[in-house]
A and B are shown apart, each in its own frame.
Chain A
Amino acid sequence: DGGITQSPKYLFRKEGQNVTLSCEQNLNHDAMYWYRQDPGQGLRLIYYSQIVNDFQKGDIAEGYSVSREKKESFPLTVTSAQKNPTAFYLCATNLDTEAFFGQGTRLTVV
């Protein structure tokens, strides 16, 4: 079935570590997005990519990095510069029309 796969489902990060969240899609969609969701907050846009080898910063890009080497993949790296990374991270595609979301990755700092 077509869809978006995010992995891992749960991720624990030690202080000072970089971690990478995976997002893979087989929907053949050009545009992919990363959101952060905190309790009681709406979705906040971190980065987005509308085409391979191109990406743009969202509203809260500081402390994060992305790459878009393949159409199917849009990994997000949470760097040590992100001081409050504990949150639920969501990957999405196709926000211009009917949007598709992955099942999310919950990142916790230990």
Chain B
Amino acid sequence: KQEVTQIPAALSVPEGENLVLNCSFTDSAIYNLQWFRQDPGKGLTSLLLIQSSQREQTSGRLNASLDKSSGRSTLYIAASQPGDSATYLCAVKLGSYIPTFGRGTSLIVHP
């Protein structure tokens, strides 16, 4: 069974820092990997979707990379802002199976 781990569980940084959030998975035969953002008391919003054949995806200040051989994905946030404060979750999908979610990294960016 696929296991997805996100480290760190929580992170607090000053505004302007570049950040790296990690997502590791145990089965490298993935179909895709998706990063989400969740604000308190809200649903999940999709940030980036990386297909198995891709190495990275970029959207604005966000860059997600995928290394299947090492079972890792990283979400890079450039020049962090207080508005980036949220919980970030990754979800890993194997073939036709339902995606497995990590527990998330809770990020606080303070002014």
Q: Is A55 an interface residue (CB 8 A)?
A: no
**Are B42 and A103 touching (Cβ within 8 A)?**
yes
Query: How many angstroms from the CA of A41 to the CA of B36 in the assembled complex?
Result: 15
For residue A107, which residues in chain B have a CB less than 8 angstroms away from its CB?
Answer: none
- Assess whether A90 is in contact with B43, with CB atoms less than 8 Å apart: yes
Contact across chains for A102 and B103 when beta carbons are under 8 A apart: no
Q: Give the number of chain A interface residues (Cβ < 8 Å).
A: 24
Q: Is the CB of B41 within 8 A of A106?
A: yes
Chain B contact residues, majority secondary structure: strand
A97 at the interface (CB under 8 A from B): yes
Q: Which residues of chain B have C-beta atoms less than 8 A from A40's C-beta?
A: 103
A interface residues, Cβ below 8 angstroms from B: 4, 6, 33, 40-43, 45, 48, 58, 88, 90, 92, 95-104, 106
Binding site for A on B (CB under 8 A): 4, 32, 34, 36, 41-46, 49, 89, 91, 93, 98-99, 101-104
A-B contact pairs, 27 of them (CB 8 A): A6-B43, A33-B98, A40-B103, A42-B89, A42-B101, A43-B89, A43-B101, A45-B98, A48-B98, A90-B43, A90-B44, A95-B93, A95-B99, A96-B93, A97-B49, A98-B34, A99-B44, A99-B91, A99-B99, A100-B46, A101-B43, A101-B44, A101-B45, A102-B43, A103-B42, A104-B43, A106-B41
